[in-house]
Amino acid sequence: MSNVAVTAVERVLDIFEAFDKVRKPLSLTDLAEMTNIPKSSCHAIVGTLAARGYLYSLTRPRALYPTRRFFDLARAILENDPFVERVMPMLERLRDASRETVILGKRQGDSVIYLQVVESSHPIRYSAKPGEFKPLHSSAIGKALVGSLKEPEMRALVTAQSLPAVTGSTLTDHDALIADILESRRRGYFLTRGENVADVWAVSAFLSVHAETIAVAIAGPRHRMENNVTECAQLLLATCSYISRQWAKQ
C-alpha cells in the first residue's frame, strides 16, 4: 500500500476519533484543526463520508456529525467475530467473580492488542479500550504471551527488545525480565506490579485456541489486588481452562 493510501486511511480514522473525543457536532474548520488535515483534503474526505452515509450535516450550527452507519457496520462485523464474542459470557463471569477489570489480548508484532475489555463496576478501577496497544515487557498479557513461547524463542525475543521504563517499576533489565517470565511459567500465571500503569497490579495466563495463542488478564488497583492475587489467579486459570475445554469440543 502506498504512503498516500496509508495517509488517507489515517485521516479518515482521525476524523472519527475527533468526534469520539469531543462527542458533539464539528464544523469542517474544527475537524481540519483538530486532525491537522489541510482544509481542502478534509473537505474531500468529509464529502466522501457524507456521500456514503457516514456523516450528516446540520444547518444550525453549520456542522457535521456521524450517522449510525459506522456503528451498525462495526456491530455486524463484531457479531461474527470468530472468537471475542463467543468468550464474552466467560469474561463477564470472571469480571463478576473477581470484581476487577478483565482483558483479552493477543500479540501483534512487538506489542499486545486488547481485543476486549470488561471493566469492573468499582468507581476506582483499571480502565482501557479494545484496540489499545500495550508493550510486551510491561503488561501482564504481554508477559504471558512471551511466556507462551518455547524458552529459546522467548529468550531471543526478550533479548532483541528494548525495554523502556513505562513506570518506575517496569523491568528494564533483560535478565531480570527473563527470570520473571520463567518463574511465572513455573507458577502458572504472570504478574505485573505497577509495571505498566503505576499502582495497577495484574495477573494473566495464556491459552491456545485453534492454533491461536491469546491471553486473559485481571487488573485492578494495588490496594485491592495485592492481597487477592492468589484468588484472582485461581479464578483466571479456571476460566482459561474452561475456554480451552469448550473449544476442544468443537
pLDDT value of position 231 = 96
Question: Which residue ranges in the chain fall short of pLDDT 70?
Answer: 1-6, 248-250
pLDDT value of position 197 = 95
What is 3-72's CATH topology? Arc Repressor Mutant, subunit A (1.10.10)
pLDDT value of position 168 = 96
* Encoded amino acid at 179, one letter: A
What is 81-248's CATH topology? Beta-Lactamase (3.30.450)
pLDDT in tens, 63-100: 999 999 988 998 888 777 777 878 899 999 999 999 99
pLDDT value of position 211 = 81
Q: Which three cell numbers stand for residue 135?
A: 508493550
Domain boundaries, the chain: 3-72, 81-248
pLDDT value of position 2 = 55
